[in-house]
Amino acid sequence: MKIALVISTSDAAFNSLAFKGDLVKGVEMAKRIGYDAVEIAVRDPKVVDVAQIKDVVERLQMQVAAIGTGQAFLAEGLNLIDSNDDIRLRAKNRLKEHIDFAAHFGAKVIIGFIRGMRKGRLFEDVLSIFVEQMRQLAEYGLSKGVSLVIEPLNRYEIDFLNTLEETYEVVKLIDKENVGILADTFHMNIEEAKIEKNLLSIADKLLHFHVADSNRWAPGTGHYDFASTFETLKSIGYKGYISVECLPKPNGAEEAAKIAYETLKSFIDF
Ligand code: LER
Ligand code: MN
């Protein structure tokens, strides 16, 4: 397992992300602390300087674990299941740009908020739209060598795909080799009755992992049982990234990133 730090582009409008601001500084900070990789949250890849990011990650020998896409929903309302055809099409096209961007770095593309809200519509109706959109994106991803990871989010943030189990069923239905699950300790702590048991059940589709503590601060500052979760990850032979996605509290981004790194290091064999 390798450790990544979530950073985000400067035009981000995403309150739950810790490390907003200058991307180059974010990559440098992650490197300084000891991280292997960064995860980059990007609203619109068109406004990001790919060459500049390539330059800094190559110079510092850092990897890019994944590309976050939620800002396109939070700032612009783009989503894959909207009742408006044009918004659905624009969301799909934006995600293709995220896939192109990810392909430069061998990164995965995250399907979190960008999947959209059900807003009272029948689950089955929304599901068929989502599955069709995801199949098209998966085909596009395959042609670029990029995988897509669907992230269950807690019920207070979204009303479509809250648990590992329901997301697993949807991933099976999409039935594409490059579509899997992103599990996040913060969301699992709210939604999963038995975190370790449920992780075991979806193990064959687990492609990416987010960590924050129960309070969404750095791992080690709350009461989430990381020892038990890491034991499970080891038992299933998880080899992907562990991405730190937490609030910059109580004393700013760099201290939070350090606490997170030290805590994770104590659970992960290098
Ligand atoms: C995104 O990875 C995530 O976990 C969302 O809950 C953002 O708030
Ligand atoms: Mn997350």
In order of their start, the domains of the chain are 2-265 (3.20.20.150)
In this prediction, residues 60-83 reach a mean pLDDT of 97
As to burial, measured by CB atoms within 10 angstroms (0-12 exposed, 13-18 middle, 19+ buried), residue 136 is: middle
Intra-chain end-to-end CA distance of the chain, in Å: 7
Question: With a 6 A CB cut-off, is 43 part of the ligand 1 pocket?
Answer: no
Give the chain's mean pLDDT.
Answer: 95
Instruction: Identify whether 151 is a catalytic site residue.
Output: yes
pLDDT of residue 11: 61
Say how far residue 250 (Cα) sits from the centre of its chain. 23
Q: Give the Å distance between the CA of 218 and the centre of ligand 2.
A: 13
243 pLDDT higher than 80 = yes
Q: In the chain, which ranges are E strands?
A: 2-8, 37-41, 63-68, 108-111, 148-150, 179-184, 206-211, 241-244
pLDDT of residue 16: 42
256 pLDDT higher than 60 = yes
Residue nearest to atom 2 of ligand 1 (CA): 112
pLDDT of residue 265: 96
Q: Which atom of ligand 1 is nearest to the CA of 6?
A: 2
The proportion of the chain whose per-residue pLDDT surpasses 90, expressed as a percent, equals 92
pLDDT of residue 15: 45
**Residue range 122-133, pLDDT digits in tens:** 999 999 999 999
In this prediction, residues 100-111 reach a mean pLDDT of 98
In this prediction, residues 227-244 reach a mean pLDDT of 98
Which residues keep their CB under 5 angstroms from ion ligand 2? 184, 210, 245
- Which residues are CB-neighbours of 2 under 8 A, at least 6 positions away? 36, 37, 63, 65, 240, 241, 242
In this prediction, residues 215-234 reach a mean pLDDT of 98
pLDDT of residue 8: 85
Give the pLDDT band (50/70/90) at residue 21: low
pLDDT of residue 9: 74
Question: With a 6 A CB cut-off, is 26 part of the ligand 1 pocket?
Answer: no
13 pLDDT higher than 70 = no
Q: Give the span between the Cα atoms of 122 and 88, in whole angstroms.
A: 17
Q: In 69-165, which ranges are E strands?
A: 108-111, 148-150
For residues 246 and 212, the answer to whether their CB atoms sit within 8 Å is yes
69 pLDDT higher than 60 = yes
Give the pLDDT band (50/70/90) at residue 118: very high
The label of the residue with tokens 């689950």 reads: 123
